[in-house]
Structure 1
Amino acid sequence: MMNVKNYVLAAFGAAIIAVLAQVMLPVPPVPFTGQTLAVGLIATILGPRLGTLAVTVYLLLGAAGLPVFAGFTGGVAKLIGPTGGYLVGFLPAAYLMGLYLEKTSYTYVQAAVANVIGMFVTLIFGTIWLKIAGDLSWEAALAGGMIPFIIPGLIKAALATWLGIFVRNRLMQAKLIALTN
């Protein structure tokens, strides 16, 4: 059941993604950004429904033209451009991470598994989209859109795991989120 508190949490989640999206290292064809860290963090804290809602709000704000995507950009062109698959991939990644945690447990070990799953879901969506939208070979798409992001993605997954479970536990203690969403 959604209430005002849940909508506020989802809005804060979208804001966190927007802020961390601006932490970036512009490396062509796909920049390193804090978005994937933020998506993992939000899914770990909020679970499948609220985490996915936060990502949806973030994507809708960006599609509407607000500068919430990496490099203070926005607009539909970013969603359908060569790197749009990473953005679109955040939706299934957030849902699958949250669902995995909901079905197992919100522990550090399970959150680490969930965040690695989410990282690969995002990379797979992004790489396939990059190959098609950028008219690249599979080798070029993998070399530019997946391989360089595995190690940084694992580091971000570890950070999202630790911080996400820590924050989730504190929010539960403060009764700001329930045991299940």
Structure 2
Amino acid sequence: MKSKTYSYVITAFGAAIIAVLAQITIPLPLIPITGQTLAVGLIVTILGTKYGTLSVLLYILLGAIGLPVFSGFSGGFGVLVGPTGGYIIGFLVQAYIMGIYMDKFRTSYLHAIISNIIGMVITLAFGTSWLKFVGDLSWTAAFMGGAAPFIIVGIIKALMAAWLGVLVRKRLESAHLLPQLT
């Protein structure tokens, strides 16, 4: 269980979960609501900094080379430089910072909620900033199209990711399937 193969499988599984949940999409005029942020928060809450961040990196790399893992079964480098690219790149920063926080506080529901809300803010900040420049928008327009519609939904997803992530992590730890990951 402490093999490199096991670590690779855990990382790939995390990336796969993100890819699957990315396909849950609610279209909006500029940026859709997707399951990606829920998935990133969930995976990092379960796997911590190293494997959570590696899962997100793998997900981004798979999408960048053209596999249809991004929302709407899209993929390719063009997605990363398009209007949603800032959110996707923000997932990597979200994962790393959330992971550091989660590793420090382990399986506390309160800290998982705090970590996931911090992650939501990070992703929205990256996405809105990128949208402003790529879309040649004012800061107000970028915020109204790229952050405001996602705040309430983001909090709900943060609560869901924290609750489910801590539940799964505790169960995996009790089954001795995660000790080597932290």
**TM-score, with length taken from structure 1:** 0.97
| SS of alignment partner, residue 30 of structure 1 | coil
Alpha-carbon contact 2:86-2:131 (below 8 Å) kept: yes
Could you list the per-position Cα deviations for residues 25-57 of structure 1 after superposition, in whole angstroms to 9, with x for gaps in the alignment?
011200000000000000000001100000000
Alpha-carbon contact 1:172-1:179 (below 8 Å) kept: no
Could you list the per-position Cα deviations for residues 112-168 of structure 1 after superposition, in whole angstroms to 9, with x for gaps in the alignment?
000000000000000000000110000100000001100000000000000000000
What's the CA shift for 1:2?
Answer: 7.0
| Aligned structure 1 segments of 4 or more residues deviating by more than 2 angstroms | none
Give the Cα separation in 2 of the matches to 1:119 and 1:97. 10
Q: In the superposition, relative to structure 1, how do residues 40 and 121 fare at CA in structure 2: closer, same or farther (>3 Å)? A: same
CA RMSD of aligned residues (A): 1.2
Equivalent residue for 1:156? 157
Q: In the superposition, relative to structure 1, how do residues 110 and 179 fare at CA in structure 2: closer, same or farther (>3 Å)? A: farther
Q: In the superposition, relative to structure 1, how do residues 109 and 2 fare at CA in structure 2: closer, same or farther (>3 Å)? A: farther
Within-5 A mapping of 1:132-151:
132-151=133-152
Equivalent residue for 2:33? 32
Equivalent residue for 2:71? 70
What's the CA shift for 1:179?
Answer: 6.8
Alpha-carbon contact 1:42-1:164 (below 8 Å) kept: yes
**TM-score, with length taken from structure 2:** 0.96
Could you list the per-position Cα deviations for residues 61-93 of structure 1 after superposition, in whole angstroms to 9, with x for gaps in the alignment?
000100000000000000011110000000010
1:166 and 2:144 aligned? no
Q: In the superposition, relative to structure 1, how do residues 61 and 157 fare at CA in structure 2: closer, same or farther (>3 Å)? A: same
Equivalent residue for 1:106? 107
5+ residue gaps, structure 2, are none
Q: How many residues align?
A: 181
Alpha-carbon contact 2:51-2:181 (below 8 Å) kept: no
| SS of alignment partner, residue 40 of structure 2 | helix
